[in-house]
Structure 1
Amino acid sequence: MNFFEKVTGSDMTKEMKNFEARSKLLPAEYQTAWEEIKNNLWVYTDFTGRNLMPILDSALELLEVTAADGQTVEEVLGDDIKGFCAALVGDDGAINYRDKWRDQLNKNVLKKLGGLK
């Protein structure tokens, strides 16, 4: 990846298009699960989203392999896709960007009110 690709994010765009092309080859229930996985993982991203690319690749590969084996989505992911995604990025107590921003806002407000020195 060169500097231009890193700044513009074009490398990530190419990778996401590749993920989408791969996901279109999955059975319908797996495609639905893939969409849910993507939606639930984005809350754990850093500013650029680059930290999720290997995780998304691994999740999609898991879906591809299990679909080829003939397993159902429920057998692979269980009933809680949100919990599966939290476990995929770390643990259930993983802090996402919203939590970080909320914590920073609370500290700033407390500081302005004179409660934090």
Structure 2
Amino acid sequence: MRELIRKIMRDKQEYKEQMARAEALPEDYRFVFQKIHGYMWSFAGGDGSDMLTTQQELIELFESSAADGKHVLDVTGEDVVGFCDGLLRDTKKWTDPARNKLNLDLINKFGRGNDAQ
């Protein structure tokens, strides 16, 4: 139990540090980050630690792109939702169990080596 409390405290501190870095981004990057942040956290699954990693990667990308003088939409593209979905591809989401169950049900019904019709 003590280790769980420590992990929660570390994650909370990491989140605060990330948000401080996001606040330091140029205005256009900060605006897009806030929009993406709201979108991506609506899908957070498990304890959210995977989302912290994804958020860290996004902040690093935005920091380096801003330093290179790139426009934020040159980084995300105009399909920002598509950008987000790509960013979240390998991140645990609350929708994962339903998605996995659907795939498993269909594989069990129609998969190779299964003669059930």
1:38 to 1:15, Cα distance in 2 relative to 1, 3 A: same
User: TM-score normalised to the size of structure 2?
Assistant: 0.71
Q: Which amino acid is 1:97 matched to?
A: W
Show the counterpart of 2:21.
22
Residue matched to 2:54: 55
Match of 2:94 in 1: 97
Distance 1:95 1:26, change over 3 A: closer
Shift of residue 96, structure 1, vs aligned partner: 4.1
Aligned partners of 2:51 and 2:92 also within 8 Å? no
- Cα RMSD of the aligned pairs, angstroms, is 2.5
Q: With structure 1 as the length reference, what TM-score do the two structures score?
A: 0.71
Runs (4 or more) in structure 1 with deviation over 4 Å come to 98-104
1:22 Cα deviation from its structure 2 partner = 0.8
Which residues in structure 2 correspond to 1:58-77 (within 5 Å)? 58-77=57-76
Kindly provide the CA deviation profile for residues 50-102 of structure 1, in whole angstroms up to 9, marking residues without a partner as x: 111111101100000000011101100012222111101218xx994257469
Shift of the 69–28 alpha-carbon distance from structure 1 to 2, 3 Å rule, reads same
* Percent of residue pairs bearing the same amino acid type: 29
The number of equivalent residue pairs is 99
Question: What is the aligned partner in structure 2 of residue 32 from structure 1?
Answer: 31
